[in-house]
Amino acid sequence: MATTQERVESQVLAPAGERTEKYRSLRSDVWRQFKRHKGAVAGLILMALIVLAVVVGPLVWPPDPYAIDTTVANQGPSADHPFGTDNLGRDLLARSLIGGRISLSVGFAAMLVGLILGTAVGVIAGFFRRLDGPLMRVTDLFLALPILPLLLVVVMLFREPLKQSFGEELGIFLLVVVIIGATSWMTTARVVRGDVLSIKEKEFVLAAQSIGTRKRNVIMRHIIPNTMSPVMVSAALGVAGAIITESALSFLGLGFPASFPTWGRLVFDGRNYLHLNPAWILAPGALISLTVMSVNFIGDGIRDALDPKLRSR
Amino acid sequence: MGRYVIRRTLFAIPTLIVISLIIFAILDLAPGDPAANLPLTIPAEVREAIRESLGLNDPFLLQWLKWMRLMFINEPLHTIESIFNVCIGDCEARDRILSWSSRAPALDIIWQRMPQTLWVLGGAFIIGALIAIPVGIVSAYRQYSWFDNLGTFFSTIGFSVPTFFTGILAIIIFSVALGWFPSFYDTTLVVNSWDTFVLQVKQMIMPVVVLSLFNAAALARFTRASMLDNLNEDYVRTARSKGVGETKVVMVHVLRNSLIPVVTLLALQIPGIFGGAIITEQIFRINGIGQLLIAAIGQSDVPMVQTLTFIFAVLIVLFNLIADVTYGVLDPRIRYD
């Protein structure tokens, strides 16, 4: 799929003057432009470090995130506990690392759900004229929904039943991922639809259709690969949005239960100890902010790198 | 212009009806029982009678139609009666939407809570726009200057840091460490003298600033990007070559055209801004409608949750309508599609 995309896009997008130069693939061009964006590179490095810390950290850092030791409760940062301890003496660095696994996987999983849904709606609306009107009305309707209140209501109503059928961790994980994904697909759908509307009029789509390619294959091989650039930007913004929404739900007490210390949950638990132990919420709050910031910078970088006007500079 | 406004308003009505249906469908599809929180000592037949009296055994469409009747016929009638002090029909026996937890009419409670929310939200919106639009204009006009780089950097930080974290940071710094502002909002405060006015301003500063920074960050970025698109247009060169002053070119020609996409994007952000308001109310303990919603959810107060979610939808659709009208004012082409 990627090779079709490269071939097509390099033909469509390459400025006339550059044809005499050595052949450069789209991918290397995009990467070259991406590297020029200092914020994006910094974001990528930071994101890699955070992912590494969250994946490897709990294996390396010895304290047990669930071990209660009230003799060291509510301590500020020290050599033994770099992020301090909570009111039950649990090490906050260990809890932040283990919680980061949940926060990040919710972010990526919800982004994928939203992205698949948004791309599907966008492609169908753009490709089949008859479905365009109804699907776009549905999109408009979703854009007018009071998202956060509805999310809160859904979590309240579905948390217990899902907990019983899938177990505590998986149940709430599925619930949070599905509802965040199901309420964050609208911008992707709009952007993809706009792209599909212009791509389906291009010659290569006509050529594919004229040699008898099935509609399904036209969509899968020719349309979708060419809509990938706006989708990648949506993906970056989607991760950021999903992490913020998950932590907001946890912060309002309607996300993960206390036994799963996601970053939002740690802030929620720590907020009643502001006067006593401000370090408790500073570390997880800063981690959320840094993650979201790096993802946003990466999204900016991808957008600039994929913009042919900027790239040819 | 009048016809355009009427058309947009008429379009909002089906949207609201569908949204209220969605809210009811979610509550109905949910496997949880709203009466499950009743004490276990209640005998089964009494429990069944309670369910019957609350109308829980009715089919969901009937429940929805009943609620629609209360919301759109009985409640407006009651409002008219209380304003003009008159009685229309059997005003004594008229049903209203009752909260399960307080047994008081849900809308009365919501109206008590509404001003706090609107003050904070409105303040944040205005301050956000006052900061963001000038920053966006200067950033675009002096692209890649130190001001632009600084502005872009801070706006990316601004919308990456969630409101609940900036809010808590503000409390730690300004209430706990410095003691400048109170960490919670006192709604019993009556503004009747200079001192109480100062107190009111003091307690509003933190929630308003926290919420407005988040709005301002996104708004400044949109304004900048949109100004950049327009600054190189032919009509700008034409205006300059006619001898129009630089201030007028930027502030009138470019700005007016640049605000069109900004208004669209702003309209898309409205649900997010309301979400931010719910969180801000929770942090600063403002007893607005966001906090009421969280409390109602905690108590499984179904009619209150339905009505409040619907009120949120009404507010969002209303602000969208304002954005649409602004759009029509800025761009005459929109009015005639």
Domain ranges of chain B: 33-96, 107-330
Q: Do A145 and B271 touch (CB under 8 A)?
A: yes
Which band of pLDDT confidence, cut at 50, 70 and 90, is reported for residue A22? Answer: low
Report the share of chain A in percent with pLDDT over 70: 85
**What is the distance between the alpha carbons of residues B177 and A270, in angstroms, rounded to a whole number?**
17
Pick A153's closest partner by Cβ from B26, B274, B313: B26
A89 versus A266: the higher-pLDDT residue is A266
B304 touches chain A (CB under 8 A): no
Q: Do A252 and B294 touch (CB under 8 A)?
A: yes
Which band of pLDDT confidence, cut at 50, 70 and 90, is reported for residue A117? Answer: very high
| Residue numbers in B near A251 (CB within 8 A) | 164, 279, 282
CATH superfamily name and code, B107-330: MetI-like (1.10.3720.10)
Quote the DSSP letter at residue A20.
G
- Domain assignment of residue A192, given as a range: 30-62+81-311
Which of the listed ranges A53-67, A79-93, A284-298, B312-326 does the model predict with the highest average pLDDT? Answer: A284-298
Q: What is the mean pLDDT of residues B267-285?
A: 82
Quote the DSSP letter at residue B250.
I
Which band of pLDDT confidence, cut at 50, 70 and 90, is reported for residue A310? Answer: low
Q: For B305, which residue in chain A has the nearest alpha carbon?
A: A153
Q: What is the mean pLDDT of residues B187-203?
A: 79
Is residue A169 assigned to a domain?
Answer: yes
pLDDT of residue A116: 92
pLDDT one-digit tens code per residue, B116-149:
888 888 888 888 888 888 888 888 888 778 888 8
Choice among A37-46, A128-137, B46-55 with the minimum mean pLDDT: B46-55
Distances (CA, A) of B273 to A28, B211, B319: 39, 8, 11
Q: What is the mean pLDDT of residues A159-186?
A: 83
Closest CA to B19 of B58, B56, B57, B71: B71
Which band of pLDDT confidence, cut at 50, 70 and 90, is reported for residue A1? Answer: very low
Which band of pLDDT confidence, cut at 50, 70 and 90, is reported for residue B103? Answer: confident
Alpha helices (runs of H) in B31-188, residue ranges in sequence order: 44-54, 60-69, 75-84, 106-141, 146-160, 163-170
Which band of pLDDT confidence, cut at 50, 70 and 90, is reported for residue B332? Answer: confident
Structural domain total, chain A:
1
Q: For A294, which residue in chain B has the nearest alpha carbon?
A: B160
Mean pLDDT score of chain A:
80
Which band of pLDDT confidence, cut at 50, 70 and 90, is reported for residue A110? Answer: very high
Q: For A137, which residue in chain B has the nearest alpha carbon?
A: B15
B189 versus B140: the higher-pLDDT residue is B140
Distances (CA, A) of A307 to A205, A312, B200, B224, B233: 22, 9, 48, 17, 19
Q: Which of residues 119-158 of B touch A (CB under 8 A)?
A: 153, 156-157
Q: What is the mean pLDDT of residues B212-222?
A: 84
Q: For A298, which residue in chain B has the nearest alpha carbon?
A: B156
Contact A139, B15 (CB under 8 A): no
| Residue numbers in B near A140 (CB within 8 A) | 15
| Residue numbers in B near A161 (CB within 8 A) | 31-32
pLDDT of residue A12: 52
Domain at A129, CATH number: 1.10.3720.10
Residue A214 has pLDDT above 60, yes or no: yes
Residue A2 has pLDDT above 70, yes or no: no
pLDDT of residue A114: 92
A20 versus A134: the higher-pLDDT residue is A134
| Tally of CB atoms within 10 A around B236 | 17
Q: What is the mean pLDDT of residues B320-335?
A: 78
Contacts across the A-B interface (CB distance below 8 Å): 132
